[in-house]
Amino acid sequence: MSYCINCGVELEEDVSSCPLCGFPVGKENITEIMDKSEHYPSDIILLHKKETRRHIWELSGIITFSGIVVCTIVDLVIHKNLSWSLYADTSILASWICLTLILLAFRKYFLIVPGLLVSMLTMLFLFNLFSSPVNWFYGIALPVTIALFIAVIIISLLWKVAHFRGFNILAIAFLVLSGFCIVSEVFIDKYISGEVDIRWSAIVAVSILPIALVLLFVHYRMKKGKRLDSYFHV
């Protein structure tokens, strides 16, 4: 049994080219064959992943449209008007938009992150309109959502620049999470009472700090910067 010299797939007898990558089977010079060949295994894999993402997006679109139609019809039949279906339809549509950004703008983070932020804020703003006259969007939803995205961006940037991605990343994530809790309580207190009284977020931060310190100690002293994937054998 022979194997393709380009991708390593097992070949059947009497084949003129590899069924996977299209690489010619013969005794030609490898360099000349590589120059003539237009497709390589990496190209085929990337094309397959792109087609898979497109199929997932198409299927998710069908499910999204069906869910919106079902929720709307059920709400109209039961209540004779649109009530809870407004929240359900908006949530389903926002989820599909987020999934669309992730699938179609794959790894283009400068498009994905702002798109996700705008989608989430738009959904929350519509929720606020549906629950009128209560106005909680500008006081709570807007600042807390922006703070959450900033926290995620900080963790992602530290993940990218970190030389060793191990328990230190988990420690930093815990510390950023504690900061997000404090910021959230500040805006919640200002909205509810107009005064800032830090309580539960301080308890969260104090509880998280020892865990972060233990993780940093394990990373830099015991595991010597060992990566998480190798530590857990992933």
The answer on 79 and 23 residing in a single domain is: no
Q: Is 39 left (phi over 0), alpha (psi -120 to 50) or beta?
A: beta
Q: Does residue 153 sit within a domain?
A: yes
- Average pLDDT for residues 143-157, to the nearest whole number? 92
Q: Are 195 and 154 in the same domain? A: yes
DSSP string covering 36-55: H----HHHHHHHHHHHHHHH
- The pTM score is 0.70
**Last residue in a domain, options 97, 114, 135:** 135
Q: Quick one: pLDDT at residue 12?
A: 76
Quick one: pLDDT at residue 105? 87
Do residue 161 and residue 217 come from a single domain?
yes
77-130, pLDDT tens digit by residue? 999 999 999 999 999 999 999 999 998 888 888 889 999 999 999 999 999 999
Tell me whether residue 84 is in a domain. Answer: yes
> Does one domain contain both 129 and 150?
no
Percent of the chain surpassing pLDDT 90: 51
- Same-domain check for residues 25 and 59: no
Same domain, 102 and 152: no
> 229 and 215, same structural domain?
yes
- Give the residue with greater pLDDT, 159 vs 76: 76
- The per-residue pLDDT for 93 is 96
- The verdict on 120 and 76 lying in the same domain is yes
Please state, in angstroms and rounded to a whole number, the distance separating the CA atoms of residues 140 and 161.
32
Average pLDDT over all residues of the chain: 83
Whether 96 and 54 share a structural domain:
yes
Q: How far apart, in whole angstroms, are the C-alpha atoms of residue 65 and residue 61?
A: 6
Q: What per-residue confidence (pLDDT) applies to 16?
A: 77
How does DSSP classify residue 217?
Answer: H
Domain that holds residue 105: 49-135
Whether residues 141 and 203 fall in one domain: yes
Residues 125 and 146 in one domain: no
Q: What pLDDT was estimated at residue 32?
A: 45
Higher confidence at residue 34 or residue 69? 69
Residues 115, 150 within the same domain? no
At 174-228, the pLDDT tens digits run 999 999 999 999 999 999 998 999 999 999 999 999 999 998 888 877 656 555 5
Mean pLDDT across the stretch 26-53?
A: 57
- Go through 93-131 and write b for each residue having 16 or more CB atoms within 10 A of its CB, e for each that does not: bbebbbebbbbeeeeeeeebbebbbebbbebbebbbeee
